[in-house]
Protein backbone atom coordinates (compact mmCIF):
# COMPACT_ATOMS: atom_id res chain seq x y z
CA UNK A 1 0.00 0.00 0.00
CA UNK A 2 1.10 3.54 -0.73
CA UNK A 3 1.05 6.33 1.84
CA UNK A 4 0.51 9.70 0.16
CA UNK A 5 0.67 13.02 1.99
CA UNK A 6 -0.38 16.45 0.75
CA UNK A 7 0.88 19.22 3.04
CA UNK A 8 -1.06 22.46 2.64
CA UNK A 9 -0.80 25.66 4.62
CA UNK A 10 -3.86 24.87 6.76
CA UNK A 11 -4.32 21.12 6.48
CA UNK A 12 -2.23 18.06 5.84
CA UNK A 13 -4.18 15.34 4.05
CA UNK A 14 -2.97 11.75 4.24
CA UNK A 15 -4.23 8.78 2.29
CA UNK A 16 -3.63 5.08 1.74
CA UNK A 17 -3.86 4.05 -1.92
CA UNK A 18 -3.84 0.47 -3.16
CA UNK A 19 -0.90 -0.18 -5.51
CA UNK A 20 -1.71 -0.46 -9.20
CA UNK A 21 -5.11 1.18 -8.70
CA UNK A 22 -6.46 4.50 -7.54
CA UNK A 23 -8.57 3.02 -4.76
CA UNK A 24 -8.35 5.18 -1.65
CA UNK A 25 -8.58 2.81 1.31
CA UNK A 26 -8.34 5.42 4.05
CA UNK A 27 -7.69 9.11 4.53
CA UNK A 28 -7.12 11.57 7.35
CA UNK A 29 -6.81 15.32 7.81
CA UNK A 30 -4.40 16.96 10.25
CA UNK A 31 -3.81 20.59 11.11
CA UNK A 32 -0.55 21.72 9.51
CA UNK A 33 0.23 24.70 11.80
CA UNK A 34 0.37 22.52 14.94
CA UNK A 35 4.12 22.03 15.60
CA UNK A 36 5.20 18.39 15.81
CA UNK A 37 8.56 16.66 16.01
CA UNK A 38 9.42 13.69 13.75
CA UNK A 39 8.83 11.36 16.70
CA UNK A 40 5.42 12.89 17.36
CA UNK A 41 4.47 12.52 13.72
CA UNK A 42 5.70 8.94 13.84
CA UNK A 43 3.54 8.10 16.85
CA UNK A 44 0.53 9.81 15.28
CA UNK A 45 0.95 8.01 11.95
CA UNK A 46 1.36 4.63 13.63
CA UNK A 47 -1.80 5.26 15.65
CA UNK A 48 -3.81 6.25 12.56
CA UNK A 49 -2.63 3.18 10.68
CA UNK A 50 -3.31 0.86 13.60
CA UNK A 51 -6.81 2.25 14.18
CA UNK A 52 -7.57 1.57 10.52
CA UNK A 53 -6.26 -1.99 10.67
CA UNK A 54 -3.25 -1.21 8.47
CA UNK A 55 0.21 -2.49 9.33
CA UNK A 56 3.14 -0.22 8.60
CA UNK A 57 4.85 -3.33 7.20
CA UNK A 58 2.29 -3.26 4.36
CA UNK A 59 3.45 0.18 3.19
CA UNK A 60 5.46 -0.10 -0.02
CA UNK A 61 6.32 3.58 -0.37
CA UNK A 62 5.52 7.06 0.88
CA UNK A 63 5.02 10.05 -1.39
CA UNK A 64 5.09 13.59 -0.07
CA UNK A 65 3.98 16.82 -1.72
CA UNK A 66 4.30 19.97 0.34
CA UNK A 67 4.02 23.74 0.10
CA UNK A 68 5.39 24.14 3.65
CA UNK A 69 9.18 23.58 3.67
CA UNK A 70 9.48 23.29 7.45
CA UNK A 71 6.86 20.52 7.53
CA UNK A 72 8.57 18.76 4.62
CA UNK A 73 11.78 18.28 6.59
CA UNK A 74 10.02 16.99 9.69
CA UNK A 75 7.71 14.63 7.79
CA UNK A 76 10.58 13.27 5.73
CA UNK A 77 12.30 12.12 8.93
CA UNK A 78 9.06 10.67 10.34
CA UNK A 79 8.17 8.80 7.15
CA UNK A 80 11.62 7.25 6.93
CA UNK A 81 10.99 5.75 10.37
CA UNK A 82 7.56 4.43 9.33
CA UNK A 83 8.29 3.08 5.85
CA UNK A 84 11.96 2.20 6.32
CA UNK A 85 13.14 4.39 3.46
CA UNK A 86 13.05 8.07 2.57
CA UNK A 87 9.78 9.25 1.03
CA UNK A 88 9.55 10.39 -2.57
CA UNK A 89 9.24 14.17 -2.37
CA UNK A 90 7.47 15.66 -5.37
CA UNK A 91 8.38 19.15 -6.53
CA UNK A 92 8.88 21.13 -9.74
CA UNK A 93 12.16 19.33 -10.42
CA UNK A 94 10.68 15.82 -10.26
CA UNK A 95 10.96 13.72 -13.46
CA UNK A 96 7.29 13.42 -14.34
CA UNK A 97 5.53 12.93 -17.70
CA UNK A 98 4.10 16.45 -17.63
CA UNK A 99 5.37 19.89 -18.63
CA UNK A 100 5.13 23.17 -16.74
CA UNK A 101 4.71 25.71 -19.54
CA UNK A 102 4.84 28.83 -17.38
CA UNK A 103 7.33 31.67 -16.89
CA UNK A 104 8.68 30.39 -13.56
CA UNK A 105 8.17 26.60 -13.49
CA UNK A 106 10.29 26.06 -10.39
CA UNK A 107 7.82 28.12 -8.33
CA UNK A 108 4.82 25.92 -9.15
CA UNK A 109 3.51 24.23 -6.01
CA UNK A 110 3.58 20.47 -5.56
CA UNK A 111 -0.21 20.32 -5.36
CA UNK A 112 -0.62 21.95 -8.78
CA UNK A 113 2.06 19.67 -10.23
CA UNK A 114 0.36 16.46 -9.12
CA UNK A 115 -3.07 17.82 -10.05
CA UNK A 116 -1.67 18.19 -13.57
CA UNK A 117 -0.45 14.61 -13.59
CA UNK A 118 -3.73 13.28 -12.18
CA UNK A 119 -5.80 15.19 -14.73
CA UNK A 120 -3.67 13.87 -17.58
CA UNK A 121 -3.83 10.24 -16.46
CA UNK A 122 -7.40 10.16 -15.16
CA UNK A 123 -9.25 12.32 -17.69
CA UNK A 124 -7.00 12.63 -20.73
CA UNK A 125 -8.63 15.86 -21.86
CA UNK A 126 -8.23 19.60 -21.46
CA UNK A 127 -9.06 20.25 -17.82
CA UNK A 128 -9.52 23.06 -15.35
CA UNK A 129 -8.81 21.75 -11.86
CA UNK A 130 -10.47 23.98 -9.28
CA UNK A 131 -8.78 23.27 -5.95
CA UNK A 132 -10.85 24.61 -3.07
CA UNK A 133 -8.44 24.62 -0.14
CA UNK A 134 -6.63 27.27 1.89
CA UNK A 135 -6.47 29.20 -1.36
CA UNK A 136 -8.69 28.55 -4.35
CA UNK A 137 -6.59 27.67 -7.38
CA UNK A 138 -7.61 27.17 -10.98
CA UNK A 139 -5.14 25.01 -12.95
CA UNK A 140 -5.32 24.94 -16.75
CA UNK A 141 -4.09 21.55 -17.96
CA UNK A 142 -4.04 20.27 -21.52
CA UNK A 143 -4.95 16.72 -22.53
CA UNK A 144 -1.22 16.05 -23.06
CA UNK A 145 -0.38 17.00 -19.47
CA UNK A 146 0.89 20.54 -19.99
CA UNK A 147 0.25 22.99 -17.16
CA UNK A 148 -0.20 26.35 -18.88
CA UNK A 149 -0.94 28.47 -15.82
CA UNK A 150 -4.04 29.45 -13.95
CA UNK A 151 -5.42 31.58 -11.16
CA UNK A 152 -4.79 31.79 -7.42
CA UNK A 153 -7.59 33.38 -5.39
CA UNK A 154 -8.36 33.72 -1.72
CA UNK A 155 -9.85 30.67 -0.05
CA UNK A 156 -13.15 30.33 1.73
CA UNK A 157 -11.63 30.18 5.20
CA UNK A 158 -9.87 33.49 4.65
CA UNK A 159 -13.22 35.21 4.07
CA UNK A 160 -14.66 33.83 7.28
CA UNK A 161 -11.50 34.65 9.23
CA UNK A 162 -11.38 38.20 7.87
CA UNK A 163 -14.96 38.89 8.94
CA UNK A 164 -14.36 37.43 12.38
CA UNK A 165 -11.09 39.31 12.90
CA UNK A 166 -11.97 42.71 11.46
CA UNK A 167 -15.54 43.07 12.66
CA UNK A 168 -16.02 43.02 16.41
CA UNK A 169 -19.74 42.21 16.42
CA UNK A 170 -19.83 39.57 13.68
CA UNK A 171 -19.55 35.95 14.91
CA UNK A 172 -17.55 33.11 13.37
CA UNK A 173 -19.85 30.71 11.56
CA UNK A 174 -19.58 27.29 9.97
CA UNK A 175 -19.39 27.28 6.20
CA UNK A 176 -22.43 25.32 5.04
CA UNK A 177 -24.81 25.87 2.11
CA UNK A 178 -27.52 28.27 3.30
CA UNK A 179 -31.16 27.50 2.63
CA UNK A 180 -31.70 30.92 1.06
CA UNK A 181 -29.73 33.91 -0.14
CA UNK A 182 -31.44 36.52 2.03
CA UNK A 183 -30.45 35.83 5.62
CA UNK A 184 -32.71 36.83 8.50
CA UNK A 185 -30.07 36.45 11.20
CA UNK A 186 -26.49 37.71 11.30
CA UNK A 187 -25.04 34.18 11.08
CA UNK A 188 -27.22 33.35 8.09
CA UNK A 189 -26.20 36.60 6.37
CA UNK A 190 -22.51 35.73 6.78
CA UNK A 191 -23.00 32.17 5.55
CA UNK A 192 -24.87 33.41 2.52
CA UNK A 193 -22.29 36.07 1.71
CA UNK A 194 -19.23 33.83 1.97
CA UNK A 195 -20.85 30.77 0.38
CA UNK A 196 -22.44 32.43 -2.64
CA UNK A 197 -19.39 34.65 -3.16
CA UNK A 198 -17.32 31.48 -3.45
CA UNK A 199 -19.79 29.78 -5.81
CA UNK A 200 -20.07 32.83 -8.03
CA UNK A 201 -16.29 33.30 -7.98
CA UNK A 202 -15.77 29.75 -9.22
CA UNK A 203 -18.28 30.15 -12.02
CA UNK A 204 -17.08 33.63 -12.93
CA UNK A 205 -13.38 32.77 -13.09
CA UNK A 206 -13.99 29.49 -14.94
CA UNK A 207 -16.03 31.34 -17.56
CA UNK A 208 -13.29 33.95 -17.96
CA UNK A 209 -10.68 31.19 -18.35
CA UNK A 210 -12.80 29.42 -20.97
CA UNK A 211 -13.25 32.64 -22.91
CA UNK A 212 -9.51 33.38 -22.89
CA UNK A 213 -8.14 29.83 -23.24
CA UNK A 214 -10.22 29.08 -26.33
CA UNK A 215 -10.24 25.30 -25.97
CA UNK A 216 -13.17 23.10 -26.86
CA UNK A 217 -14.94 20.79 -24.40
CA UNK A 218 -12.88 21.68 -21.34
CA UNK A 219 -13.55 19.41 -18.35
CA UNK A 220 -13.94 21.27 -15.05
CA UNK A 221 -13.08 19.29 -11.92
CA UNK A 222 -13.53 20.51 -8.35
CA UNK A 223 -11.16 19.13 -5.74
CA UNK A 224 -9.86 20.00 -2.27
CA UNK A 225 -11.41 20.25 1.16
CA UNK A 226 -14.40 22.35 0.09
CA UNK A 227 -15.07 20.60 -3.22
CA UNK A 228 -18.13 18.76 -1.93
CA UNK A 229 -19.49 21.95 -0.35
CA UNK A 230 -19.08 24.36 -3.27
CA UNK A 231 -18.86 22.03 -6.28
CA UNK A 232 -22.51 20.86 -6.40
CA UNK A 233 -23.71 24.48 -6.52
CA UNK A 234 -21.30 25.73 -9.23
CA UNK A 235 -22.83 25.63 -12.70
CA UNK A 236 -19.48 25.28 -14.45
CA UNK A 237 -18.23 22.23 -12.51
CA UNK A 238 -18.53 18.96 -14.40
CA UNK A 239 -17.11 16.57 -11.83
CA UNK A 240 -16.18 16.52 -8.14
CA UNK A 241 -13.10 14.57 -7.06
CA UNK A 242 -12.08 15.65 -3.55
CA UNK A 243 -8.88 13.57 -3.59
CA UNK A 244 -7.43 14.45 -6.98
CA UNK A 245 -4.20 15.61 -5.32
CA UNK A 246 -3.74 12.36 -3.40
CA UNK A 247 -4.24 10.35 -6.58
CA UNK A 248 -1.73 12.60 -8.33
CA UNK A 249 0.81 11.92 -5.59
CA UNK A 250 0.33 8.16 -5.98
CA UNK A 251 0.78 8.45 -9.75
CA UNK A 252 3.86 10.63 -9.26
CA UNK A 253 5.45 8.15 -6.86
CA UNK A 254 4.92 5.26 -9.25
CA UNK A 255 6.32 7.27 -12.15
CA UNK A 256 9.44 8.36 -10.26
CA UNK A 257 10.11 4.94 -8.78
CA UNK A 258 9.57 3.29 -12.16
* 37 and 70 belong to one structural domain: yes
* 135 and 200 belong to one structural domain: yes
* 52 and 137 belong to one structural domain: no
162 belongs to a structural domain: no
Catalytic site includes residue 111: yes
Q: What percent of the chain has pLDDT over 70?
A: 93
Q: What is the pLDDT of residue 159?
A: 61
Number of domains present in the structure of the chain: 2
Residue 65, domain CATH? 3.30.420.40
175 belongs to a structural domain: no
Q: Region 183-201: what's the mean pLDDT?
A: 85
Per annotation, catalytic residue among 18, 77, 101, 111:
111
How far is it, in rounded angstroms, from Cα 104 to Cα 102? 6
Range of the domain at 37: 2-90
* 109 and 8 belong to one structural domain: no
Of 67, 90, 113, the last residue of a domain is 90
How far is it, in rounded angstroms, from Cα 237 to Cα 232? 8
Q: Which long-range contacts (CB under 8 A, 24 or more apart) does 33-38 make?
A: 36/74, 37/74, 38/74, 38/75, 38/77, 38/78, 38/81
Torsional class of 84: left (φ above 0), alpha (ψ -120 to 50), beta (otherwise): left
* 121 and 85 belong to one structural domain: no
Q: What is the pLDDT of residue 168?
A: 46
Q: What is the pLDDT of residues 204-246, one digit of tens each?
A: 999 999 999 999 899 999 999 899 999 999 999 999 999 999 9
Amino acid sequence: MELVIDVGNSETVLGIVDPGTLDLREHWRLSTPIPRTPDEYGLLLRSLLSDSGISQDDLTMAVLGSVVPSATRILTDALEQIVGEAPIVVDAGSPLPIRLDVDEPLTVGADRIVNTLAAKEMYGRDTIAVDLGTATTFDCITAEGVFVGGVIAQGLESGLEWLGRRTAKLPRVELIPPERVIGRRTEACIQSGVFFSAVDAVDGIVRRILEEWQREEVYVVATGGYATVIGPHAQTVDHIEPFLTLFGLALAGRSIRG
